[in-house]
Amino acid sequence: MADRKATLTVDGLDKTIELPVYSGSLGPDVVDVRGLGAEGLFTYDPGFMATSSCQSAITYIDGGKGVLLHRGYPIDQLAKESNFVELCYLLLFGELPNDEQYADFESRVSNHTMVHDQINNFFKGFRRDAHPMSILCGVVGGLAAFYHDHMDINVEEDRIISAIRLIAKMPTIAAMSYKYNVGQPFNYPRNDLNYAENFLYMMFSTPCEEYKINPVYAKAMDRIFMLHADHEQNASTSTVRLAGSTGANPFACISAGIAALWGPAHGGANEAVLKMLDEIGDDSEENIQRFIDKAKDKDDPFKLMGFGHRVYRNFDPRAKVMKETCDEVLAELGIDDPQLKIAKRLEQIALEDEYFVERKLYPNVDFYSGIILKAMGIPTNMFTVIFAVSRTIGWISHWHEMLSDSYKIGRPRQLYTGHDQRDYPAK
């Protein structure tokens, strides 16, 4: 793979070091620095700004051009032409399914949507007002107790059944977290509904009356699931890969991914966007400008939530589709949401402001998603839960890809800045 070399010279080191350079199918070349350890050197890259942690064929992002490909297919085409279950198949197996493969996969997912009845008892340990992400973290990790002894991560079929169990059960557990919060009885999943319909049914159906699926909501929900499905080596996916590299079972790894996603700098941003729009209050120029100024103020920790991205230095292609979906859903529902007006005005002002322009800060996937979810009656504390339901396919596909190839336990080093060795003081 390496036919090119990088040559490194280090002051004080009386030799040059040659390092292999590899090219992928798309994107930047990489310098293989693994040989530096033998030379008594480490690389230093806090936050992994320029570090590729692995090889992967699942998702490609071109941050400069605002391109996102899943197994080569552009996200905007998938979001408009495909559906979430088909995208799950594509991400996990690498190719689009034919009709028979799709039917079989969809049926396998449907037949694993129920959780063991004992899982219901997990919820009783939480306060009713527990954040549903805390419940999700705990209950998904607890799934390991039911499957740990019945799977071998080194057997491909065991990995696939674990992936299907997770894809299938995440919406059920997510909806249970919501029902527990609102004090309503849990709903069993229904195999006659598709993935998005089933999630909405489990969320909003009550024993008192028949729940009618709103096709606008179901289509928007499926598209939101698709737009959040995978995103290369983001923080939570890297967490899942690191946990998986120790041989931990997939349920524990996904629970670790959920924990990492929860942060407001990552998947928690969608909830934070709605809180920010609430705080802004109205789309008056002075109110919006006040928040823009806060975001620019180095002494103020406030950041414009839903803006900026480690990789995208252009529009996040998912944000574009999300914005279109937002307009469609609100128009179909006849909702004139003042927060959408604030969001659009905020985006317009920010994109004309030198601070954001020179830093190439654009709306990301989280900027508009919350407005759609709110329009569907989903509470803000469920937004990141929905992100986690969707991202589970990304996490587990990366986990499966890593375990399908040779891999080593992830174990970074450091630049040590502590004390030299010193003796314990004599008493």
Minimum Å gap between C-beta 62 and ligand SDX is 13
We find the least distance from the C-beta atom of residue 350 to ligand SDX, in angstroms, to be 8
**CA nearest to 233, candidates 394, 91, 412:** 394
Rounded to a whole number of angstroms, the minimum distance from the CB of residue 364 to ligand SDX is 4
Q: Are strands 30-31 and 16-22 parallel, antiparallel or unpaired?
A: antiparallel
93 close to 256: Cβ distance less than 8 angstroms: no
Nearer to ligand SDX, 46 or 418 (CB): 46
CB 141 to ligand SDX: min, Å: 20
Shortest Å, Cβ 110 to ligand SDX: 27
Nearer to ligand SDX, 298 or 419 (CB): 298
Q: How far apart are alpha carbons 222 and 80 in whole angstroms?
A: 10
Pick 155 or 265: Cβ nearer ligand SDX: 265
Q: Give 166 or 176: the residue with its C-beta nearer to ligand SDX.
A: 166
Residue 48 φ/ψ, nearest 5 degrees: 50, 55
Nearer to ligand SDX, 151 or 388 (CB): 388
Based on CB atoms, which residue is closest to ligand SDX, 97 or 410? Answer: 410
Distance between CA 364 and CA 75 in Å, rounded? Answer: 14
Q: Give me the sign of the Cα torsion angle 311, 315, 317, 320.
A: positive
Q: What phi and psi, each to the nearest 5 degrees, are found at residue 6?
A: -110, 140
Q: How far is the CB of 186 from ligand SDX (least distance, A)?
A: 29
Q: In what order do the strands lie in the sheet with 59-62?
A: 59-62, 67-70, 73-74
Name the residue nearer to ligand SDX (CB basis): 310 or 345. 310
Smallest gap from residue 370 Cβ to ligand SDX (A): 11
As a whole number of angstroms, the distance between CA 300 and CA 293 comes to: 9
- State the Cα–Cα distance between residues 36 and 370, nearest whole angstrom: 45
- For 347-379, b/e burial (b = at least 16 CB within 10 A) is beebeebeebeeeebbbbbbbbbbbbbbbbebe
- Residues making contact with ligand SDX (CB under 6 A): 231, 234, 265-267, 269, 295, 303-311, 359, 361, 364-366
| Known active-site residue 366 | yes
Which residue's CB is nearer to ligand SDX, number 229 or number 378? 229
Amino acid at 147: Y
Residue of 228, 231, 309, 400 marked active site: 309
- The residue annotated as part of the active site, out of 222, 230, 316, 366, is 366
Cβ 75 to ligand SDX shortest distance, Å:
11
Could you give the residue numbers annotated as active site? 309, 366
